[in-house]
Structure 1
Amino acid sequence: MKNIIITGTSRGIGFEMVRIFSEMGHNVLALSRDTSSVLAENLGNVQCFSFDITDEDCHMRAESLIEENWNSKVDILINNAGALLNKPFSETKSDDFKAVYDVNVFGVASITRKFLRFMHKDSHVVNISSMGGIQGSMKFPGLAAYSSSKAALITLTELLAEEYKENGPAFNVLALGAVQTEMLEEAFPGYKAPVSAKEMADYIANFSLTGNKLYNGKVLQVSNSTP
């Protein structure tokens, strides 16, 4: 039984991962602003509370829960929460950019730093990025803030893997292609992805449990389509 933290669990891939890990019998801390969808499932071994990745008070509450209920041990952290902005660059303000980076980069860095003290050599941090953050991949108008923040997350992952390679945890990043989620509909209205949220959640769940045995500091492109 693993102790697993997942952010961004109110819908889509994150929500499906909570169900998958619960069915496997693992302990899950599901962190998202909206907890209603997870609570409605009444899943075993799952705890959740309303969580804002940019709020230090929420970080402290999560730390307390880990100390009290999980004997201060975290095996897997999946940084799945993400903010999307689809807006022409000429109309994008500095505050718009900051709001995206606060979630996709600064928030991830902050909670990872907070939870590192609970992790061990065999722990695994999996960051969820996007094909839009891959250098040389196809880019799309309106996603300047989102895709550039996902590129920053990729580089952050590589740097942390190097910094913690002696004593762990392992850090890897998955650059996802199109998955049929609400966020995809926001970015590409009307586009139908070849992969469902459940299918991608299955892949990420399995990778998080075993990927650190073979990978550290790697960027895996998980995509069979464009976008």
Structure 2
Amino acid sequence: MAKVIITGASRGIGFEMAKLFADAGHSVLALSRNVAPIAEVGHKNIESFSFDLAQPTDIDKLEHFLRTGWKEVDILINNAGKLVNKPFLETTMAEFKAVYDVNVFGVAAVTKVVLPFMNKAAHVVTVSSMGGVQGSAKFPGLSAYSSSKGAVITMTELWAEEFKETGPSFNVLALGAVQTEMLEEAFPGYQAPVTATQMARYIMDFSLTGQQLYNGKLLQVSSSTP
């Protein structure tokens, strides 16, 4: 059974993934700023604590947990994300930076802490968006969000190259429209063709086996765009 870290586990895809992994017998560390929803699940295979990946003290807390507890990690799923949906000229630089603090710098910080606990067979999966894929459809108001999601695609390619001899493997999934709270924030009233549970199951399966066939790859997981 795998030891799995999932960020952004309080709602949507991350919440569903945590439950699916746990039900399958895997050990899950479910991290999110609002720990209450996942803690209330009360699953014996889920550990959780309040975690803001934009806060250096919380990054230190994760490192301490791994060093004194688990000591190894098989799968890291960088799922947490922050979205601002505002016209570019109305978006403050503080808001722009806050998106990058979570979606780019936070992903880098978590990955950097977890890597020493991963072996060659382990797998880092980062959740991106179709909006971050060059040449995909773009939407007004998402300058900060979509550009940050483009950044983690490039980071994934670079990490795979840098660690290709020692592992782990790194892959990134660019998701299309999934019916989550975040989608409602980005596209109010839009009904997605994919549920959070459907996507969670796909990401879980890919996280467990995808590194056997892929490394440094962007997979577009979308039956539609947005």
Q: TM-score, normalised by structure 2?
A: 0.99
- Matched residue pairs, number? 226
Let me know the Cα RMSD of the aligned residues. Answer: 0.7
Q: What is residue 14 of structure 1 aligned with on the other side? A: 14
Matches for 1:206-221 after TM superposition, within 5 Å: 206-221=205-220
Matches within 5 A, 1:74-223: 74-223=73-222
2:115 alignment partner AA: L
- Structure 1 stretches of 4+ with a deviation exceeding 3 A read none
In the alignment, what sits opposite 1:51?
A: 51
Paired AA for residue 30 in structure 1: A
Distance (Å, rounded) in 1 between the aligned partners of 2:145 and 2:64: 31
> Counterpart of 2:64?
64
Q: CA deviation at 1:68?
A: 2.4
Structure 1 alignment gaps of length 5 or more: none
Q: How does 1:33-48 map to 2 (within 5 A)?
A: 33-48=33-48
Matched, 1:29 2:68: no
Distance in 2, Cα, partners of 1:134 & 1:181: 20
C-alpha deviation, 1:55, in angstroms: 1.1
Distance 2:129 2:29 in 1: 23
Distance 1:190 1:13 in 2: 19
**Distance across 1 between alignment mates of 2:62 and 2:88:** 36
Structure 2 Cα separation of the partners of residues 57 and 92 of structure 1: 28
Report the CA distance between 1:86 and its aligned residue.
0.2
Following TM superposition, by how much is the alpha carbon of 1:137 offset from its aligned partner in structure 2, in angstroms?
0.2
Distance across 1 between alignment mates of 2:63 and 2:44: 21
Structure 1 Cα separation of the partners of residues 166 and 64 of structure 2: 24
Q: CA deviation at 1:58?
A: 1.0
Q: TM-score, normalised by structure 1?
A: 0.98
Provide structure 2 residue ranges, at least 5 long, that are not aligned to the other structure: none
Identity between Structure 1 and Structure 2 (%):
64
Query: Counterparts of 1:174 and 1:212 in 2: how far apart (Å)?
Result: 13
Find the aligned partners of 1:124 and 1:226 in 2 and give their Cα distance. Answer: 27
SS at match of 1:219: strand
* 1:3-60 deviations in Å (ceiling 9; x for gaps): 1000000000000000000001111100100011111111121110100001111112
